[in-house]
Amino acid sequence: MCYFSFFSSLSIAQPALSGGIDTAYMRSRFNKIEQQITMRDGVKLFTSIYVPKNLDKKAPILLSRTPYSVAPYGTDKYKPFVGPSPLFSTGDYIVVYQDVRGRYMSEGDFVAVRPYKPNKKKKEIDETTDTYDTVDWLVKHIDGNNGKVGTWGISAPGFYATMTAIDAHPAVKAVSPQAPVTDWFMGDDRHHNGAFFLMGTFAFLSYYGAPRPEPTTESSRNTIPYGTPDGYDFYKKLGPLKNANERYFKGENAIWNQMMDNESYNEFWQERAVVPHLKDIKPAVLTVGGWFDQEDLYGPFKTFAGIEDNSPKSPNHLVVGPWIHGSWTRGLGNYLGNIVFEKETAPYYREQIEKRFFDQYLLEGEDAQLAKATIFETGSNQWKKYGAWPPQESVEKNIYLQANGKLSFDVPVEKDSFDEYESDPKNPVPYTSEIRILRGSDYMYEDQRFAARRPDVLVYESDPLEEDVTISGDVWANLFVATSGTDADYVVKLIDVYPDDAPNNSPINRNTQMGGFQLLIRGEVMRAKFRKSFSEPEAMVPNKVEEVGFDMQDAAHCFKKGHKIMVQVQSTWFPLVDINPQRFVNIYQADESDFQKASHRIFHDAQHPSHLKVRMVETN
DSSP 429: P
pTM here? 0.94
Are the beta carbons of 177 and 187 closer than 8 angstroms?
A: no
Question: Does the pLDDT at position 426 exceed 80?
Answer: yes
Instruction: Note the Cα 528 to chain centre separation in Å.
Output: 23
Question: Does the pLDDT at position 21 exceed 70?
Answer: no
What's the angle, vertex CA 18, arms to CA 17 and CA 20, rounded to 5? Answer: 65
Question: Does the pLDDT at position 22 exceed 80?
Answer: no
pLDDT of amino acid 18: 29
pLDDT of amino acid 23: 83
Cα–Cα distance between 555 and 380 in angstroms, integer? 13
Which residues, other chains included, contact 334 with Cβ-Cβ below 8 Å and sequence gap of 6+?
340, 341, 342, 343, 344, 345, 507
SS3 546: strand
Question: Does the pLDDT at position 400 exceed 60?
Answer: yes
What's the CATH number of domain 23-178+274-333+342-377, 3.40.50.1820, 3.20.20.70, 3.30.1120.10, 2.60.60.20? Answer: 3.40.50.1820
pLDDT digits 0-9 by tens, 90-105: 999 999 999 999 999 9
Which residues, other chains included, contact 38 with Cβ-Cβ below 8 Å and sequence gap of 6+?
44, 133, 137
Are the beta carbons of 90 and 12 closer than 8 angstroms?
A: yes
Each domain of the chain, given as residue ranges in start order, spans 23-178+274-333+342-377, 395-617
* In the chain, % of residues over pLDDT 70: 96
- Using alpha carbons only, how large is the chain's radius of gyration in Å? 25
Q: Is the dihedral of CA 559, 563, 569, 575 positive or negative?
A: negative
Cα–Cα distance between 345 and 356 in angstroms, integer? 16
Cis link prior to 72 (omega < 30° from 0)? yes
Cβ atoms within 10 Å of 499's Cβ, excluding its own? 17
Which residues, other chains included, contact 394 with Cβ-Cβ below 8 Å and sequence gap of 6+?
472, 473, 615, 616, 617
pLDDT of amino acid 511: 74
Are the beta carbons of 172 and 183 closer than 8 angstroms?
A: no
Question: Does the pLDDT at position 513 exceed 90?
Answer: no
Helices then strands, counting H and E runs in the chain, come out as 13, 25
Are the beta carbons of 358 and 366 closer than 8 angstroms?
A: no
Question: Does the pLDDT at position 192 exceed 80?
Answer: yes
Question: Does the pLDDT at position 248 exceed 60?
Answer: yes
Query: Which residues face 423 on adjacent strands?
Result: 598
Query: Which residues face 152 on adjacent strands?
Result: 176
- Name residue 125's amino acid: I
SS3 450: helix
* CATH architecture for the domain at 395-617: Sandwich (2.60)
Cα–Cα distance between 401 and 439 in angstroms, integer? 30
Query: Which residues face 546 on adjacent strands?
Result: 481
Question: Which candidate, 84, 99, 444, 95, places its Cα nearest to that of 288?
Answer: 84
Minimum mean pLDDT among 51-60, 290-299, 463-472, 592-601: which range? Answer: 51-60
* In the chain, % of residues over pLDDT 90: 90
- Name residue 198's amino acid: L
pLDDT digits 0-9 by tens, 300-353: 999 999 999 998 888 999 999 999 999 999 999 999 999 999 999 999 999 999
